[in-house]
Structure 1
């Protein structure tokens, strides 16, 4: 039986390559860089499938060259890099990985929140510069997170995950969105407010909305 030919446009964790290799003949771009346009067009030719990344623009030109391809698997939650409308017209399957980065993204947002509240980046830069002269009672005091008010703009998957992680810090949670988030209201006692009210009443604001004309 002939095994499908799959091309992976950039090095991904070995577990993924091993899984593909159980069923397919796999070729991988081993360089830690995005493919040039010319390289992408060259390497999709004659493949049964392609694992693409957000840095790869998958459009009509690619579809024209990748004749007979069975599908593109986008190694990302988003798929802005893929012309899905054209793929649908040509009946080319497209897949992505929804949900896999929800907690990871929320955790990164918390890392940023703490770095601001506790002035982590400023103090790190001072120490690395060699200009730190020792501890002082007024130096990089920062501010508390515990007991403060967290404002969530966009209470979707990631905004909800961000808010739920505030429980350990006894924070009051406000959120602004076009819909009511029952999970946040039931589990955290969160309050839905207008965007203006959220900005006025929050100590910290975390934004989790897609880039759209409305936002």
Structure 2
């Protein structure tokens, strides 16, 4: 009997074709709807491999109920949806998709920063809604980006890529990380800072840290009060790092000038969420790595990793 693979979102046939030649492949029929929990549990019970999305909860219950499971390939660099400890205990290989999405996510992060600072989304709506009747000196005036200070929380590969882009805008780059990166400081000309210094001195605070017990809920009222009232806050990492209630109040009080968000505490976000009612917020549907080239690359890497494990070989990327 061939090993079976369950894919939790509809992917292009061209991507899964290599797996179909050697394995039994079953795939959720929807591209933009998450597989229900009960369906996922049922399918996982007999699967040798899972190709999962960040929205799929791969917890201890699921892993323990899946005796044939050998590998989970997560279509993301993050893995906070997976119980890594349980997987290790059960001998299940967990793979993710780092590196392939680094530059694409950095592009989106910097685009989000620019759109928020220069009020691009507001300006687009202004024109399309027929409000542009004349020109005035301060019409939709935003904030400069060049020669400002950017503070990057989380200097991993994506953080480094954002820092390189910032240097192209002649920005001063501060960073805060769990450990200092002396080689990066030398190569990119960035400066390590305590979190407090980063928050107080930065014109743009960009969150790119992983979600873990140290970063969950890191941004509360206290952190926003430390920031400049002209500062822009960007979160392209994970929603639960930030208290959305604290962010909302900081924006309403004018403690900070604006926010660009690609991630939220609960996703997808409800249309009547209070943050979406604020004109100084630019909101995106978690599309940091969403270019066609990169998403296809991520899918291909997942397929490659699954094939390797099921053939008794070492995957290209594993946790």
Query: TM-score higher than 0.5 here?
Result: yes
Matches within 5 A, 1:56-205: 56-205=56-205
Q: Residue deviations 1:139-162, cap 9 Å, x none? A: 122232222222222222221111
Measured on the aligned residues, the alpha-carbon RMSD in Å equals 2.2
CA deviations on 1:82-139 (whole Å, 9 max, x unpaired) are 2222222222222222233222222221011101221112112222322221332221
Aligned residue for 1:152, secondary structure, equals strand
* Structure number with bigger Rg: 1
Which consecutive residues of structure 1, in runs of 5 or more, have no partner in the other structure?
none
Higher relative contact order (CA 8 A, sep 6+): 2
**For the structure 1 residues 198 and 84, does the alpha-carbon distance in structure 2 shift closer, same or farther, using more than 3 Å as the test?**
closer
Q: Does the alignment pair 1:8 with 2:20?
A: no
Q: Does structure 2 conserve the Cα–Cα contact (< 8 Å) formed by 1:164 and 1:184?
A: no
Shift of 1:13: 4.2
In 1, Cα distance between equivalents of 2:119 and 2:42: 48
What does the per-residue CA deviation read over 1:45-85, in whole Å, with 9 as the maximum and x for residues that have no partner? 32222212222222343234422223222222222222222
Secondary structure of the 1:146 match is coil
- Unaligned 5+ segments in structure 2 are 216-319
Would the aligned equivalents of 2:53 and 2:76 in 1 still touch at CA under 8 Å? Answer: yes
Q: Which secondary structure state, in structure 2, belongs to the residue aligned with residue 77 of structure 1?
A: coil
- Partner of 2:73: helix, strand, or coil? strand
**Separation (CA, whole Å) in 1 of partners of 2:176 and 2:36:** 41
Give the aligned length: 214
Do the aligned residues in 2 keep the contact of 1:115 with 1:121 (CA within 8 Å)?
yes
Deviation per CA, 1:147-186: give whole Å up to 9, x if none.
2222222222221111011222122212223422234322
